[in-house]
C-alpha cells in the first residue's frame, strides 16, 4: 500500500497517510485518459457556428435573372445560387452538439489512472487542512509559497471552501475543486495537486 507524507500549512511533515492501491496504484491506461479529456473538451464546445445552407433561409427573389438561351451568357436559375455573392453555403457548419457519452466504468478507471500518474510522478501532496481567515489573494499566495508549490496548482477539498475559492480567483493558473468535481483534464493540466486528508478519503470512497 503506497504512503505519502502528511504536511501542515508550513510544509512540515506531521505524519503519513496510507493510499488505497485500488485508486492510487492502479494500471495507468493512457487511452482512457485521452478519451476522457476529449470528452470534456467536446462537451465544452459551443457548437453555435451557423451558415445558411438552404434557399428557405435566404432573403431575396428566386426569379430567374435572364432567359435560358439567346443572351450569350451562362444559364442561371437563381441569383441566390451558391456560386453567386449572397447565395447559400454548401456543406457549411450548422449548430450541433459535440458531446458524446463514455461508459461510467471507463470514466472511473480514467480518473484512477490520472491520480496514479500524479502519485507516481510525485505531483501529488496531502495536507492536513487548508484554512484561510480571509478570502484574500495575498493569503492564498502565502499558502502557495509556504508549501513551495509551482505556478499551476490544483487544490482538492472535501467540500466547497469559499475563502480559498475566492482567494485564488485572481490567480489564473490555480484552481480549487471539491471531491465530486475532480476530473482527468484538471489533474493532467496542473503541475501539482494538493489534497486535504479529508478529501483524500472522499476520493477513495468515490472511486473504489
d(CA 3, CA 6): 9
pLDDT, mean of each 10-residue run, the chain (208 residues): 84 89 93 96 94 90 92 93 91 93 95 95 92 91 92 92 92 94 95 94 92
d(CA 10, CA 145): 9
Both 122 and 174 in a single domain? yes
pLDDT of residue 9: 85
pLDDT of residue 155: 96
Both 124 and 183 in a single domain? yes
pLDDT of residue 14: 87
Both 174 and 200 in a single domain? yes
Q: Has this prediction a pTM greater than 0.85?
A: no
pLDDT of residue 133: 87
pLDDT of residue 183: 95
For 110-176, the three-class secondary structure string (H helix, E strand, C coil) is: HHHHHHHHHHHCCCEEEECCCCCCCCCHHHHHHHHHHCCCCCCEEEEECCCCHHHHHHCCCCCCEEE
Both 126 and 28 in a single domain? yes
What domain count does the chain have? Answer: 2
- 69, 97, 125 — which closes off a domain? 97
% pLDDT > 70, the chain: 100
pLDDT of residue 160: 85
Residue 57 DSSP class = G
CA-based torsion, 104, 108, 113, 118: positive or negative? positive
Both 17 and 120 in a single domain? yes
Residue 165: domain span: 3-45+100-207
Both 22 and 114 in a single domain? yes
Amino acid at each position: 500500500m503506497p504512503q505519502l507524507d502528511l504536511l501542515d500549512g508550513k510544509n512540515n511533515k506531521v505524519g503519513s497517510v496510507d493510499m488505497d492501491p485500488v485508486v492510487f496504484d492502479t494500471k495507468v491506461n493512457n487511452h482512457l485518459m485521452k478519451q476522457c479529456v476529449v470528452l470534456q473538451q467536446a462537451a465544452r464546445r459551443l457548437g453555435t457556428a451557423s451558415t445558411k445552407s438552404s434557399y428557405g433561409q435566404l432573403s431575396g427573389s428566386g426569379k430567374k435573372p435572364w432567359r435560358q438561351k439567346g443572351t450569350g451568357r451562362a444559364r442561371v436559375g437563381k441569383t441566390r445560387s451558391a456560386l453567386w455573392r449572397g447565395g447559400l453555403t454548401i456543406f457549411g457548419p450548422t449548430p450541433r452538439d459535440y458531446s458524446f457519452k463514455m461508459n461510467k466504468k471507463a470514466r472511473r478507471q480514467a480518473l484512477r489512472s490520472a491520480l496514479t500518474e500524479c502519485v507516481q510522478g510525485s505531483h501529488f501532496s496531502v495536507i492536513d487542512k487548508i484554512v484561510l481567515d480571509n478570502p484574500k489573494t495575498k493569503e492564498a499566495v502565502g499558502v502557495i509559497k509556504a508549501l513551495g508549490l509551482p505556478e499551476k496548482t490544483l487544490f482538492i477539498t472535501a467540500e466547497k471552501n469559499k475563502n480559498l475559492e475566492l482567494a485564488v480567483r485572481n490567480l489564473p493558473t490555480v484552481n480549487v475543486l471539491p471531491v465530486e468535481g475532480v476530473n482527468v483534464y484538471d489533474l493532467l493540466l496542473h503541475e501539482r495537486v494538493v489534497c486535504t486528508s479529508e478529501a483524500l478519503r472522499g476520493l477513495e470512497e468515490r472511486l473504489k
